[in-house]
Amino acid sequence: MRDLNLARSADDRERFPVVIGDAGARDPVVTLTSLTKRYGDLVAVDELSFSLRPGTVTGFFGANGAGKTTTLRLLLGLAEPTSGEALVFGHRYRELDDPARRVGAVLESSDFHPGRSGRDHLRTLALAAEIPSTRVEEVLALVELAAAAHRRVQAYSLGMRQRLGLAGALLGNPQLLVLDEPANGLDPAGVHWLRRFLRDFAAQGRTVLVSSHMLAEAAQTVDDVVIIDHGRHVASGRLHELTGGERTLEDVYLGLTGGAA
């Protein structure tokens, strides 16, 4: 048991966030503040601000080209914002110590060398993150790829690639999972499995940010919703507050983004 030392270091505050009152007051896992990304004249992400509550699944919705993937890339340190900031656990991603143990992410379903086996792909990540190889076998079993792990990724179906990507994100047993369109290519059983997996993940107090354009499916999984259009924040909040218990998420989305409602 840690003794009650009032002069806690910044590092300790980070590792053991102060909980004041109810769980809603905990430090946000992800905080975007006026996040902006311009490519020449094109504003891909425009003054976007939102935060994620721990222990929730947040659905991140928008049309193709609305800026979802760019936002996730900015959040994960793969791209630099033009202005504003994106913080994960209070830090810029690239300044996190041991990021694989805090954040797991899948941005593309096909980010594998076709000639490398699924197991070796995970091992290269595990070595870089100093994660024991026993954990590689654990995540392979978790996503039900153990039997195919010795095969090269070129022989994998899209669904298998999705699960291999997820296995890579889970290697470090992270507190935050960021997934870009994870249901693409999954069969109905795979979608069902993913939904249960994400619910269980959040039920352990961990957090999920999942982008999607499959609204009906996502509505069954998410607690919170962030909707963007042309890089701008359109709406966010708890799913049941947005839908009022009457309308579907699809109605809400189409009404807000100017589609036919």
Q: How far is CA 229 from CA 80, 210, 226, in A?
A: 21, 16, 10
Distance between CA atoms of residues 162 and 181, nearest Å: 10
In terms of Cα–Cα distance, which of 199, 195, 135, 196 is closest to 170?
A: 135
Which listed residue (19, 25, 78, 141) binds another protein by CB under 8 A?
78
CB of 24 or CB of 115, closer to another protein: 115
Hey, which residues between 154 and 213 contact another protein (CB under 8 A)? 168
Distance between CA atoms of residues 23 and 223, nearest Å: 15
Distance between CA atoms of residues 37 and 235, nearest Å: 19
Hey, which residues between 20 and 39 contact another protein (CB under 8 A)? none
Cβ 118 to another protein shortest distance, Å: 11
Which listed residue (76, 148, 149, 226) binds another protein by CB under 8 A?
76
CB of 102 or CB of 195, closer to another protein: 102
Which listed residue (13, 23, 42, 80) binds another protein by CB under 8 A?
80
Q: Are the C-beta atoms of residues 75 and 92 closer than 8 Å to each other? A: no
CB of 71 or CB of 257, closer to another protein: 71
Hey, which residues between 81 and 140 contact another protein (CB under 8 A)? 93-96, 99-100, 103, 105, 107-108, 110-117, 120-121, 123-125, 127-130
Q: Please count the residues of this chain forming the interface with another protein, following the rule CB under 8 A.
A: 34
Distance between CA atoms of residues 143 and 164, nearest Å: 7
CB of 32 or CB of 136, closer to another protein: 136
Beta strands in the chain (DSSP E): 30-39, 42-52, 57-61, 83-88, 103-106, 176-180, 207-212, 224-229, 232-238
Cβ 225 to another protein shortest distance, Å: 25
Q: Which residues bind another protein (CB under 8 A)?
A: 73, 76-80, 93-96, 99-100, 103, 105, 107-108, 110-117, 120-121, 123-125, 127-130, 168
